[in-house]
């Protein structure tokens, strides 16, 4: 009788042990499967964060300031250092904005450091835009859609040394003679204050030693504000803003 009871209890113990072993194996395989699935999802998320290679092929970087990266995200293009709402529907407009932004940052750098290198930044800008033309020729990169246009309008372009950026209080009135104002956006005023020139809407420490550099910054700033305006309104006018910028700079040369 005792042996029967012992055998019965042993059978129950073995049955429970087998069940636990099976359960452990099931849990192990289930956890392993979930880990693999989670790993796959993590890998997918990692790839999704990668928005592609830099499409800006211009490699010059005067003063160590490279042209901001241009990447494609879905059906749009984005340019590094731009505002959240900045987007471009074609490559040419994004690459052009990258060139403009590099020029602004280049000028900002030299403006803070003191040496007058505005002309060098402007020359680099011209080369960058020529590079864009070569890059997009035959690729369908036509006239830009204003996706965010301006963003970088903080001083730069100046090459002077420090000082306030308001155009008020000038001793000789507005020295900017370019009158084009696409979208109602006029070129910021340029005034002489003491021995320096100042451009309207600039940062407090912006000042220019030469009139040409101040007038050029006024043209750049007008172009940025023009692009920003049409970006907010949804108009496709970046190309027009760029054409006006060229006309403004031609006016500076003649002036």
Which positions ≥6 away from 181 have C-beta within 8 Å?
187, 222
Distance between CA atoms of 12 and 15, rounded to whole angstroms? 5
Distance (Å, rounded) from C-alpha 79 to C-alpha 94?
Answer: 6
Q: Is 18 exposed, middle or buried (0-12, 13-18, 19+ CB in 10 A)?
A: exposed
Distance CA 109, CA 122 (A): 13
Give the number of C-alpha atoms closer than 13 A to the C-alpha of residue 179, restricted to the C-beta side: 0
What is the per-residue pLDDT for 115? 62
Q: If pLDDT is split at 50, 70 and 90, which confidence band does 86 have? A: confident
Taking residues 172-184, what's their average pLDDT? 92
206: Cβ contacts below 8 Å, ≥ 6 apart: 111, 155, 158, 160, 162, 163, 164, 165, 198, 199, 217
Q: In whole angstroms, give the CA distance from residue 122 to residue 152.
A: 15
Q: Report the range out of 67-81, 124-138, 154-168, 170-184 with the highest average pLDDT.
A: 67-81
Q: Which has the higher per-residue pLDDT, 77 or 149?
A: 77
pLDDT band at 231 (very low <50, low <70, confident <90, very high): confident
Report whether pLDDT(203) > 70. Answer: yes
Which pLDDT value is given to residue 238? 73
Cβ atoms of 182 and 133 within 8 Å: the answer is: no
- 138-174 pLDDT, tens digit per residue, is 554 443 333 344 444 443 333 333 333 333 444 569 9
pLDDT (mean) for 88-97: 89
Which of 64-68, 108-112, 206-210 tops mean pLDDT? 64-68
* Per-residue pLDDT at 127 exceeds 90: yes
CA nearest 102: which of 76, 78, 128? 128
Residue closest to 153 by CA, chosen among 101, 112, 189: 101
Indicate the pTM of the whole model. 0.49
pLDDT at 179 over 80: yes
21-70 pLDDT, tens digit each: 444 454 544 444 444 444 444 433 333 334 579 999 999 999 999 999 99
């Amino acid at each position: 009788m005792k042996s029967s009871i012992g055998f019965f209890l042993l059978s129950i113990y073995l049955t429970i042990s087998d069940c636990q072993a099976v359960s452990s194996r099931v849990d192990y395989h289930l956890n392993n499967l979930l880990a693999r699935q989670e790993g796959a999802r993590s890998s997918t998320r990692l790839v999704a964060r990668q928005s592609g290679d830099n499409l800006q092929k211009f490699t010059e970087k005067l003063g160590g300031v490279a042209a901001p990266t241009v990447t494609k995200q879905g059906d749009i293009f984005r340019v590094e250092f731009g505002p959240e709402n900045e987007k471009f529907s074609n490559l040419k407009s994004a690459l052009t904005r990258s060139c403009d932004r590099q020029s602004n940052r280049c000028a900002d750098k030299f403006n803070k450091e003191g040496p007058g290198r505005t002309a060098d930044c402007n020359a680099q800008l011209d080369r960058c835009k020529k590079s864009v033309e070569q890059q997009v020729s035959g690729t369908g990169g036509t006239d830009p859609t204003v996706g965010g246009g301006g963003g970088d309008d903080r001083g730069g372009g100046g090459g002077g040394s420090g000082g306030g950026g308001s155009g008020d209080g000038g001793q000789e009135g507005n020295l900017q003679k370019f009158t084009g104002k696409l979208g109602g956006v006029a070129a910021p005023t340029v005034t002489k204050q003491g021995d320096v020139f100042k451009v309207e809407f600039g940062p407090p420490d912006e000042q220019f030693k030469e009139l040409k550099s101040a007038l050029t910054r006024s043209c750049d700033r007008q172009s940025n504000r023009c692009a920003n305006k049409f970006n907010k309104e949804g108009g496709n006018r970046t190309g027009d803003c760029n054409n006006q910028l060229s006309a403004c700079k031609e006016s500076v040369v003649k002036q």
